[in-house]
Amino acid sequence: VSTQSTGAAPTQMDGPPVQRLPNRSRKSLEIPNTLGVWNMYPRYVPRLHEYTSSARGALNRMRNKLVSAAWEKWQYEYEQECKAKFFMQGAIRRMINRQISMAWEKWQFEYEETKRQMLLMTGALNRLRNRLLSAAWEKWQFEYEEQCRQMFMLNGALNRMKNLKLSQAWEKWQFEYEEQKRQMHLMAGALNRMKNRMLSMAWEKWQQDYQEAKRQKHLMAGALNRMKNRMLSAAWEKWQFEYEEQCRQMFMLNGALNRMKNLKLSQAWEKWQFEYEEQLRIEFMLKGALTRMMNLKMSQAWEKWQWYCEQLRILREGRSRVPEYNIVIDHPIATNWVKLESPHVVF
C-alpha cells in the first residue's frame, strides 16, 4: 500500500512519486475514432450515393414497369426518327445540289487515289534509292518471322514433352468435348424433327421446291437470253470452242517441240517410266508368289473353292464346258452330284 493511499508522508522506501495522468472523459476518448470516420467519409459517401441511386432506380422501374418500358420505347423511337431525319435531309440536299455532291465525291475519290498512289510511288522510289537496305530489311523481317515461328513451335514441343500426360489429357478432353458437342447438336436436331415432324417435312419440301424453282428459273433465264441474243450466244460458244481447241493444240505442239529439243532427255524419261512400271509389276507378281509359298495350303484351298464355285455356276446355268476341258465329270466328287432337272434339288 503506498503512502499516498494512506495519507502518510512519502519516504525513501516508497520510491519516486508516481505522476498520474489527468482524467479524460469518454467524449474526449471517442474523438480520434470520429475523426477517422470523418476522413473516410469523402471516399465512401459518393459510392454509397451511387449504390443508393442505382437501387432506387431499379425499384422505381419495378414499381412503374409500364411507364419505364414506354419511356425506353419513346427514346428508341426518337433516336430512330432523328437518324432517319438526318439521312433524309442528307438525301434531299444531295438531290437539290446533285452536281455539287457529285463533284465533292469525285474530288474525295481523286484525292484518296492520289494520296495512295503518292504513297506507293514514294515507297517505290525509296526502295530504288536504298535497294540494298530495303533487301536487307525484308530479309531481316523474313528471318525474324521464321525464327519467331520456329521458337513458338519449339516451345510448344518442349512444353508438350515436359507435360506429356497433361498435354495428352488436354487433347483427349478437346476431342471428347467436340464429339459430345457434335452428338448433342445431332441429338437436338433429331429430337426437334421428331417433335415437329410435319413442320420439318414441310420445311424440307419447301427447301427442295425452292432449289428446284431457282434452278429452273436460272435455266429459263439462260434459255431466254440465248433466244434473245442468239447470234451473240452462238458466237460466244464458237469462241469458247475455238479457244479450247487452240489451247489443246498449243499444248500438244509445245510438248512435241520440247521432245524434239530434248530428244535424249525425253527418251530417257520414257525409258525410266517403262522400267518403273515393269519393276512395279515384277514386284507385285513376286510378292504374290512369295505369299502363296508362305501360305501354300491356304492358297490351294482358295483356288479349290474358286474352282468349285465356278463349276456350280456352270451347272446352275445349265451349260457345260468343252468336252476336252470338262473336269467336272472326271472329278471323283462329281459322281455323287444330282442333275438340275431332278426334283431332289431345291433352290
**The pLDDT value given to residue 287:** 93
Task: Write down the pTM of the prediction.
Answer: 0.30
32 Cβ contact list (under 8 Å, min separation 6)? none
Nearest CA among 221, 216, 246 for reference residue 233 = 221
Cβ contact 332:308 at 8 Å: no
Give the Cβ contact number of residue 266 at 10 Å.
Answer: 14
pLDDT at 99 over 80: yes
How far is residue 278's CA from residue 282's CA, in Å, rounded to a whole number?
6
Helix, strand and coil percent figures for the chain, each rounded to 5? 85, 0, 15
Of 9-23, 28-42, 268-282, which gets the smallest average pLDDT?
9-23
- Supply the pLDDT for residue 117: 94
* Helices 197-228, 230-261: crossing angle, 10 deg rounding: 90
- Please state which of the ranges 8-22, 92-106, 300-314 shows the lowest mean pLDDT: 8-22
**Residue type for position 221:** A
Q: Are 340 and 318 in contact (CB under 8 A)?
A: yes
Q: What is the pLDDT of residue 55?
A: 85
pLDDT band at 51 (very low <50, low <70, confident <90, very high): confident
Confidence check: pLDDT of 164 > 50: yes
Q: Using CA atoms, how far apart are residues 297 and 285, in angstroms rounded to an integer?
A: 19
Question: In the structure, what pLDDT confidence band is assigned to residue 13 with cuts at 50, 70 and 90?
Answer: very low
Identify the pLDDT of residue 42: 64
Q: State the average pLDDT for the chain.
A: 83
pLDDT digits (tens, 9 = 90+) for 252-300: 999 999 999 999 999 999 999 999 999 999 999 999 999 999 999 999 9
Residue 222 pLDDT exceeds 80: yes
* Residue-by-residue DSSP string for 117-169: HHHHHHHHHHHHHTHHHHHHHHHHHHHHHHHHHHHHHHHHHHHHHHTHHHHHH
Quote the percentage of the chain above a pLDDT of 90.
67
**46 three-class SS:** helix
Average pLDDT on 26-50 reads: 59
State pLDDT tens for residues 300-336: 999 999 999 998 988 888 755 544 444 444 555 445 5
